[in-house]
Amino acid sequence: MSVAVQQFEVELVAIRDRVNVRLAESLAPLDDCPAALRESMAYSLLAGGKRLRPILVLFACEACGGLIDDAMPVACAIEMIHTYSLIHDDLPAMDDDDVRRGRPTNHKVYGEAVAILAGDALLTLAFEVIARNTRNGSVAAACCADLASAAGWCGMVGGQVADLEAEKQLEHRYSSQTTSCDVARTGAEQSLIQLEAIHRRKTGRLLCSAVTLGARVAQADTNLVDRLQEFGKHVGLAFQIADDLLDVTGDAAKLGKNVGKDATLGKMTYPGFLGIEASRRKADDLIQEACRLLEPLGSRADKLVSLAHFVTRRDH
């Protein structure tokens, strides 16, 4: 590992610690909140994890000349939204997962009702944290609007519904056992397009919004916000490919969840369509293209560039 990479990983740990402290503070016990609800929220929100989305917010803000502290409310909010989506995705009615980040999933510990409500509460708290703690009112409103758009019916939630629908379609296709080669190939191409469309919404929109939200807090001009948005789109897709690859090649202990589950479930994945090597190349190409977009920012964007590369080597 190069010295630059080692140094970056030290910085990464330091900024992650700052995020973790702020997240813990945001869940300080309050008299009006039932203990079981707070515990359930904290169980998932303070369970560790890479904190990729909040760090993207903070580094993007810095790259645009803003202050880390000013972006901290937005950084915490996006992690709350990411966490709520994991709690709800794991529910029996959805992916029905028992393990997450190496521990039993939220509903396994607190029951389904409290898990649903803890998710609702984290989603709600995300907007409160931004609206109450972002210094400039107009910036706060713009961030709430952007984050809601990325997380909502045309973003992450819409992607989750599209994903559920695609799984059903795939089950139907497997069960009807089409044998014609031409039909199968056309189906695979269509499915790859469908897969990208789903990922763009399910994970891409939120990751992308992390970058643009950082730029908004720094009050960057429109050109710069647009440039960071393109960067975010590329990184978001690369992240998803890396995630799919980890499910095939990863180590269950490091990952903290069952591996090979996507394949078992017949889920559409990049390695499933393109093979492992081509998927790796695609992720690398996306990251290189993303970093090219940041060249005009010079050294201010160094941390963002390092983070983009870090995203595709997440099993280290």
Closest Cα to residue 170, out of 187, 156, 154? 187
- Tell which one of 24, 145, 183, 252 touches a copy of itself (CB under 8 A): 145
Rounded to whole angstroms, how far apart are CA atoms 190 and 315? 30
Cβ at position 199, least distance to a copy of itself in Å: 13
The nearer residue to a copy of itself, 98 or 165, going by C-beta atoms, is 165
Which are the contacts of 82, defined by CB distance < 8 A and separation ≥ 6?
53, 206
Candidates 4, 21, 67, 93; binder of a copy of itself (CB under 8 A) is 93
Distance CA 66, CA 59 (A): 9
> Is 98 among the residues that bind a copy of itself (CB under 8 A)?
no
Site for a copy of itself contains 125 (CB under 8 A) = yes
Report the C-alpha dihedral over residues 268, 270, 275, 277, rounded to 10 degrees: -160
By C-beta, is 122 or 291 nearer to a copy of itself?
122
The Cα–Cα gap between 75 and 112 comes to 28
Restricting to residues 187-226, which ones interact with a copy of itself according to CB under 8 A?
Answer: 201
Q: To the nearest whole angstrom, how small is the minimum distance from the Cβ of residue 127 to a copy of itself?
A: 4
Spatial distance between the Cα atoms of 170 and 92, rounded to a whole number of angstroms: 20
The smaller minimum CB distance to a copy of itself, of residues 149 and 191, is found at 149
Give the nearest distance from C-beta 181 to a copy of itself in angstroms. Answer: 30
**E-assigned strand segments in the chain:** 99-100, 103-104
The three-state secondary structure class of 139 is helix
Our CB check for a copy of itself shows the closer of 147 and 293 to be 147
Binding site for a copy of itself (CB under 8 A): 30, 32-34, 36-38, 41, 84, 88, 91, 93-94, 111-114, 116-117, 119-121, 123-125, 127-128, 130-132, 134, 136-145, 148-149, 151-155, 157-158, 160-162, 164-165, 201
